Amino acid sequence: MFEAQVVVSALGMFNNLVWPKIPGITDFKGNYFHSARWDHQHDLSGKRVGVIGVAASCIQFAPELAPKVKQLSLFQRTANWVLPRRQAAE
């Protein structure tokens, strides 16, 4: 038995990927992948990158991508409420 003051569920909702219903998305000629199935072989350096959906995973990876890509565009339906991300001293 465990006791805790806080429990964080990390069961993962990414076992069933959800793609946005955007007309023409299947005709897109560029590379694309879901953040839950990141394509580590694809180098995004210097590329124009669009991220659809800005939930928790985007909040984690977008700041890491921004300095590496030529242009980062974020597309969202509803704004998320987040607090400043505190970085540990390096």
d(CA 64, CA 11): 24
* Residue tagged 């700041």 (tokens): 63
The phi and psi torsions of 52 (rounded to 5 degrees) equal: -100, 120
Q: Which of 53, 50, 55, 61 is nearest to 81 (CA)?
A: 55
The predicted structure's pLDDT at residue 26: 84
Domains of the chain by residue range: 31-75
At 49 the three-state DSSP class reads: strand
d(CA 17, CA 29): 21
- Tens digit of each residue's pLDDT, the chain (90 residues): 878 887 776 666 656 787 888 898 889 898 999 888 899 999 999 999 999 887 777 888 999 999 999 999 998 877 767 677 677 665
The predicted structure's pLDDT at residue 86: 73
